[in-house]
Structure 1
Amino acid sequence: MNMPQYGTAQPSEIETSMGPVTLDVRPDVESLKDIWLGLEEVAPYTPSQTYGYAQAWVRNVLAPDGREPVIAVGSVHGRPVFLWAFQTEQALGQPVLTWMGQGHANYNMGLNSPEAAERLQADDLKRLLQHIAERADVSAALLDAQPFDWNGAPNPFARLPQQPHPSGGYAVALGDFEKIYLARFGKQSRRKYSRRERKLEEEGGAVVFGWGDTDEEQRELLETFFEQRELQFAKMGVDDPFTPPIREFCRDLVTLPKGDPARLCMGYLKVGDVVTATFSGSICRDTLAVSMSSLAESDMMRYSPGLVLLRREIKWACDEGLSYYDIGVGGARHKERWSDVFRPLFDSYIAFKPQGLLVTMPLSGWSRAKRSIKNNDVLWPLVQKARRRLFGNQGDSGSGDDD
């Protein structure tokens, strides 16, 4: 892909409902560190909008592929009010704009100050995006899995034309763990949990829950995760999405400093000396945001170590005083049983040139069809049944039945 020279262009002034916005589009992350961290102090975000995440993504995924990010910063009277981190991709033969790393993130959005979140209107966003598209020389934007709001602040991109994302996000509002547990599960289900833990210990050895502490332990747990998921994907007959660049990206995240909101914290359940399950994510402000999980191939799978680990992590998050345990995007039985917060998401498919319609129209139709199947009470159970027949429970990171 020939890279546009937008990094050499001067900032432009765009009229908006907030008044004139100075728009600066840059191809690097490091020069924006102070602005980025400053906006993190006032804007809502998830791990994938943070400076640490973006720096690791560019270094390990974009740069080795000869690509640069497309970072748009808007300022009013010299004061940064938003930062939107994009990248370019090829889709159906056309160059398109996406959120940075959107295929590997649960939630995608920009960093928007309270002023920008409240005041930017649809026409403002269209003008700003059109200007960014011209700088990046793309035909369309494919902006997936965006929340309507976050931590009570509106997402201004929700004012653009949109369609529902095929899946939504699931989270547990935390507090008194015992009250949550009793409210979610009946006596029979709670007995199942106790029986699972007892059987794991009887047949495998001591059951230990924990988090990676040192960088070395974090790395070791991450490699265990890669091995377990690689085997699971192979049994499912699908390509492993953790390609070498993505693995290097994750290796950077697990060694970020403690307290960094993008640090990937490796959570595990050991039975004896074996890591039988992992649930890992980032502690981002008041939320433990889980982004990946795995199970070991062993006889212990029949006792659902993933579900045992999930319960222990939720209790840990309650004890730590966090507000949410976010289990991520996509429906699954264990998510539905635990969660009392559902986050609807939307996609924005925007054509900037006539040829951009060759991308946005078919992909928009495919996304609608996918959502229709997932929300059909007849078709979706049939799809799930077919998956189970083909692959067993390998696609369910929780493994097992809560009922």
Structure 2
Amino acid sequence: MAEPVWRALEKTCHLATPYQRFDLLGPWQRLVGEHEGAAPFIVIARDAERRPLVVLPLCTRQSHGVTVACFMGGKHTTFNMGLWDADFAVHADAADLDALLAALRGRVDVLALSQQPTRWRDQQNPFAVLPRQNSINGCPLLAMPPDGLPASRISNSFRRRLKSKEKKLQALAGYRYHLATTDNDITRLLDWFFRVKPVRMAEQKLPNVFAEPGVEAFIRAACLAPRGDGRVIDIHALECDEEVIAIFAGVADGRRFSMMFNTYTMSEHARYSPGLILMRNIIDRYAEAGYDALDLGIGSDDYKRLFCKSDEEIFDSFVPLTSRGKLAAMAMSSLSHGKRLVKQNQMLFDLARRLRRAFG
């Protein structure tokens, strides 16, 4: 059984992102992955004394006769990474990785390892030494230096603008910002989210990923799963007695908060930028708790740039393990590179977006 080893490598003395927690990826595999035809493929590497050095939470898919192994989580994980023994990760070199990959040859044809952070917790991702290329999208990042003043996170002028807007909301009975802590609150907020989000996405002519088989059940399971004094996915909300105004949900690990999904009200209260006000509250909350970074997920939406001035460096690796996998790896790499070029060229990106809206 991989679960005990997996959970052991989630401890803070090891190197892993919160997206690779067992209680996040377990429900994803069971409720979403199986619907998508993904089979679990958990790789555990051990030293001579049988001590676990790394867990790779992978799944396999079949495509045109090729077995492809990728990280679990699909569209719902911003970052993908192994769970590493921290000491081993510091010293792991190309020879160690060659030995790890050699054990996989013949079992899969190609590794498609996307959206990997180059570094995590100030330590290099051991897979960064593999052949790699920039991911299709970047991830906007806000660095929050220890003991930094509020203005170092959000400028005073932006704070004043948000405060002016918030005065309208503060007049509402029961207006409040809070982190959902009870099962009842979490369930109530998710009920609202799954009503409102499809409408918001339809307005933007975007596909509703939350309507895909198993996704809602997966998100509910992860949001309700306990983790320390919080949940595997934490939900932050702006509310009044009349309605839920906005929510942001994401994962936290004691040093970084990473946003996963959000939406805001369809009522007239939307005119007062409740999502931005909620984001300001979240940033200040985690900065005051000693967190040193916050990200708003993959993509360069305008609102993200209001808070995040830099980008997390993330990469993809397409590693062939068989002769059949070489062609597949080349095709995946080229496709990913092409999509990135479109994203980086505003004219091409606008054209692609118009075509998607016209034919989606």
TM above 0.5, yes or no, is yes
Out of 47, 58, 63, the position equivalent to 2:18 is: 47
1:400 corresponds to which residue? none
> Does 1:159 pair with 2:129?
yes
TM-score (norm 2): 0.87
Cα drift, residue 111 of structure 1:
0.9
Equivalence for 2:101: 129
Which of 220, 230, 250 is residue 251 of structure 1 equivalent to? 220
Higher relative contact order (CA 8 A, sep 6+): 2
Measured at CA, do residues 382 and 121 of structure 1 come closer, stay the same or move farther in structure 2, by a change above 3 Å? same
- Equivalent residue in structure 2 for 1:224, among 172, 192, 196: 192
Shift of 1:133: 4.5
Q: For residue 142 of structure 1, what is the aligned residue in structure 2?
A: 112
Does structure 1 residue 72 correspond to structure 2 residue 72? no
Aligned residue type for 1:347 = D
Counterpart of 1:211? 179
The reply to whether residue 113 of structure 1 matches residue 85 of structure 2 is yes
| Cα separation, 1, equivalents of 2:147 and 2:91 | 39
> Could you tell me which amino acid in structure 2 is paired with residue 166 of structure 1?
I
Distance in 2 of aligned mates of 1:326 and 1:67:
28
Identical positions, percent: 27
Which residue, 272, 279, 283 being the options, matches 1:314? 283
Q: For residue 168 of structure 1, what is the aligned residue in structure 2?
A: 138
Q: Calculate the aligned-residue CA RMSD, in Å.
A: 2.9
Task: Give the secondary-structure state (helix, strand or coil) at the position aligned to 1:145.
Answer: strand
Q: Distance in 1 between matches of 2:63 and 2:246?
A: 36
The 1:311–1:351 alpha-carbon spacing in structure 2 relative to 1, beyond 3 Å, is same
C-alpha separation in 1, matches of 2:200 and 2:130? 39
Are 2:333 and 1:364 aligned?
A: yes
Q: Which runs of 5+ in 1 are unaligned?
A: 1-30, 392-403
- 2:257 aligns to what? 288
Separation of aligned partners in 2, 1:292 and 1:255:
15
Aligned CA distance change for structure 1 residues 292 and 133 (closer, same or farther; 3 Å): farther
Deviation at 1:266, TM superposition (A): 1.2
Q: Paired residue for 2:27, among 45, 48, 56?
A: 56
- Alpha-carbon separation, structure 1, partners of 2:231 and 2:126: 23
Contact 1:144 1:346 survives alignment (8 Å): yes
TM-score, length of structure 1 as denominator length:
0.79
Describe the SS at the equivalent of 1:199: helix
1:319-360 per-residue CA deviation (whole Å, 9 max, x = no partner) reads 333332232222223322322553110001122233324432
Q: Could you say what secondary structure the match of 2:257 adopts?
A: strand
Check the 8 A contact 2:35/2:213 in 1, yes or no. Answer: no
Query: 2:201 maps to which residue?
Result: 233
Q: Deviations over 1:42-78 (max 9, x none)?
A: 3222222112223222332345667541111111122
Alpha carbons 2:238, 2:245 under 8 Å: kept: yes
Once residues 202 and 349 of structure 2 are traced to their aligned partners in structure 1, the CA distance between those partners, rounded to angstroms, is 23
Separation of aligned partners in 2, 1:182 and 1:119? 35
Say if 2:169 is the partner of 1:200: yes
Q: What is the CA deviation profile of residues 141-199 of structure 1, one whole-angstrom value per residue up to 9, with x for unaligned ones?
A: 21100011100121111101111112222333336898233664353x33321221123
Is the Cα contact below 8 Å between 1:261 and 1:283 reproduced in 2? no
1:370 deviation in Å? 2.2
Question: Once the 2 structures are TM-superposed, how far is the Cα of residue 206 of structure 1 from its aligned partner?
Answer: 4.6
Q: Tell me how far apart the structure 1 counterparts of residues 231 and 40 of structure 2 sit (CA, whole Å).
A: 18
Question: Is the alpha carbon distance of 1:230 and 1:306 closer, same or farther for their aligned partners in structure 2, counting shifts above 3 Å?
Answer: same
Moved more, 256-265 or 270-279: 256-265
Asked if 1:100 corresponds to 2:72, the answer is yes
The corresponding residue for 1:27 is: none
Confirm whether residue 33 of structure 1 aligns to residue 7 of structure 2.
Answer: no
Choose 307-316 or 328-337, whichever is displaced more.
Answer: 328-337
Match of 2:324 among 355, 360, 381: 355
8 Å CA contact 2:106–2:322 kept in 1: the answer is no
Unpaired runs of 5+ in structure 2?
none
Instruction: Work out the number of aligned pairs and report it.
Output: 355
CA contact (8 A) 2:117 2:125 kept: yes
2-structure distance, mates of 1:132, 1:90: 16
Output the CA distance in 2 between the equivalents of 1:62 and 1:289: 22
Indicate conservation of the 8 Å contact 1:373/1:380, yes or no: yes
Deviation per CA, 1:356-388, whole angstroms, max 9, x where unpaired?
Answer: 244322332222122223333x5378469969x
